[in-house]
Structure 1
């Protein structure tokens, strides 16, 4: 499905200015070169159109003519933790958690094409700072799939990144799950969804969740996934506010003190949400106190959103290990985010809860608005 994404700056609005000057701030999807050679006046002019996307598509089509298809574009949604309880520290150093994970409409778009290579995948992306080698979870997932199935398919992959990193939104884990799903589609769906889910835990604790139908009660390190059928309506709006600073997950867990976590039974929280929906008292995140120690400004941001959003948000909480603050109940951020210079560099996005159907992957909604002021400033410099 098509998507309408907006990069915006709180104080810079260039669209109309560019329109008046005859320019577009959206790069064309096709490059066109018109060549008019020297010919006699009686001859027609020759126009040559070069379409790089079409050329790559033709190359992909030639890789394996027996394959059911050669290209696939998939939506890769992120998630929020509606509640997150830390219940135990294990002997291996990891912590057991109990959490309601839920996919939301903010996500990346990943394009897969069959590659003629028999030795290497090729990954590109629209943002800097993302690893393009086997440190990336997409490449790890494709390697894992070949290891488990014996598939010989390699891919050209382009990641159109919208989900910020270090946000507690599971963007990388979702990318990995999406890559496993894609590889299986190219290979005739020889693996079941359950197998993909089980395999995925070998490369990341949050990845198995994305093979649920969009909402799941996750335990262990997150790899034990119990599907929950539509606990929350899809039409509940929310706003995501993430400062430029990220929280190191390792640092957050290092500062976690189990004797200071909540003592509420996570199953009680799940029951309340399923029965009554979202409210502030059920959106508990045991990682908030240590995250606020790591990033004190994040605590101040949550306090200000909570105070400014009384009557606007049903709940305000941090997702995962941070640093995204979620306000559920309205797609609009509080006014201070626009007015206060301290928040000129925050990432903003509205979102909704989403689900997926059996044997289908997640579909992109058309209404998600993403605002990244620094990216906008760079775009128009």
Structure 2
């Protein structure tokens, strides 16, 4: 059989749906069949890609050759190779904080820790964390927009990445930048959320070596609040906080709140040191949960057993809460402290009282509106499109 006289062809499309390939050297025309195919990873534009069997006729040789060329199979194979080789190199995730709608301390344990029972809920205030694969095979690099944040192994993000490598054998290291919007020392779990977000990110870069359940179990080695962030965003937490029971959100997502935090932080260790079980609340935490589920948030259900010792550590925090209640004139459904402080939460309105704006004594107070959010299973938390994070006060304090 005679061979083709050339290997280069000019392509054109005819009105009958056939593609024509002209070979000027052989003097022939190749007609391509009109079956339509689409390829993974490629855009077909306005016209489908047309290929399968190409027939060529050469007038010079008076012989016909049949060329079988499966273009869709070739392009699909190339697309698979691109997908496989490219991998994940950059990832930006939202790292939301939480509030404790109620927080009961139920027992002091022999190991010195306290048992708690609390309704944890994720809210829309959060940090943005950018992860990039590092060329280094020995060191992570961490940066942030806020001064005073530790950037070494003391940071929970670095601890989380080290833990992931230890548990999975992954050899990936990262460049991480944190756009910090959640104040530290606030009782909002910002650091714990960062750690959970880092574990999730490391797992994405490694192709999902671990399940969500494994990530949640491992995260308890970093801190008691970290496992909560692997819930759906609303959970009844017991033990030291690491025993997480997912529940349907008992509060409406359009319920506004305002977070108000003075520059001073409360030392969690000092707050627990001053806590006295014999004078704390005796209300059943499950009864609180049931009441919130039925009737919503009200002042009587937002019990926080750590408020009295926190107010001893920081007397000005007690005065701040009292002033918010008084100046709010009933616009808040409840005013309470989150975690071990020092954030005061006002549920029912996104606005702080006027004295926060007007008085010099409060010029360094952090404040932000927020709402309750949850996440979809097998996905990380999404930043709400109308996020309050961009409307934080310029005078917000992030100091520990």
Q: Give the gaps of 5 or more residues in structure 2.
A: 1-82
What is the aligned counterpart of 1:207 among 226, 234, 240? 226
1:371 to 385, 393, 397: 393
Q: Decide which of 212, 216, 222 is 1:197's aligned counterpart.
A: 216
TM-score normalised to the size of structure 2? 0.77
Task: Calculate the TM-score normalised by the size of structure 1.
Answer: 0.81
The counterpart of 2:121, out of the listed 93, 97, 102, is 102
Q: Which residue of 1 aligns with 2:160?
A: 141
Aligned-pair Cα RMSD in Å: 1.4
Q: How does 1:95-134 map to 2 (within 5 A)?
A: 95-134=114-153
CA distance in 1, matches of 2:165, 2:343: 34
Cα deviation digits, residues 305-339 of structure 1 (max 9, x gap): 01111321000000000000000000000011112
Q: Tell me how far apart the structure 2 counterparts of residues 351 and 314 of structure 1 sit (CA, whole Å).
A: 15
| CA apart distance, 1:67 | 5.2
Contact 2:97 2:193 in 1 (8 A): yes
Which protein is richer in strand relative to its size? Answer: 2
Q: Deviations over 1:171-211 (max 9, x none)?
A: 00000000000000011112110000000001100000000
5 Å-filtered alignment, 1:39-188, equals 66=85, 68-188=87-207
Counterpart CA distance in 2 for 1:260 and 1:371 is 38
Do the aligned partners of 2:366 and 2:397 also contact (CA within 8 Å) in 1? no
Shift of 1:374: 5.8
Within a 5 Å distance, the mapping from 1:26-45 to structure 2 comes to none
Give deviations 1:10-65, integer Å, cap 9, x for gaps.
xxxxxxxxxxxxxxxxxxxxxxxxxxxxxxxxxxxxxxxxxxxxxxxxxxxxxx98
Give the match's secondary structure for 1:298: helix
Matched residue, 2:5 = none
Partner of 1:281, secondary structure, is helix
User: Looking at both structures, which has the greater relative contact order when contacts are Cα pairs under 8 Å and sequence separation is at least 6?
Assistant: 1
Q: Aligned-pair distance for 1:243?
A: 0.2
* Aligned residue pair count: 313
| Gap runs ≥5 in structure 1 | 1-63, 377-381
Per-residue CA deviation, residues 130-170 of structure 1 (Å, 9 max, x unaligned), is 01111100000000000000001100000000000000000
Instruction: Assess if the C-alpha contact under 8 Å between 2:367 and 2:396 holds in 1.
Output: no
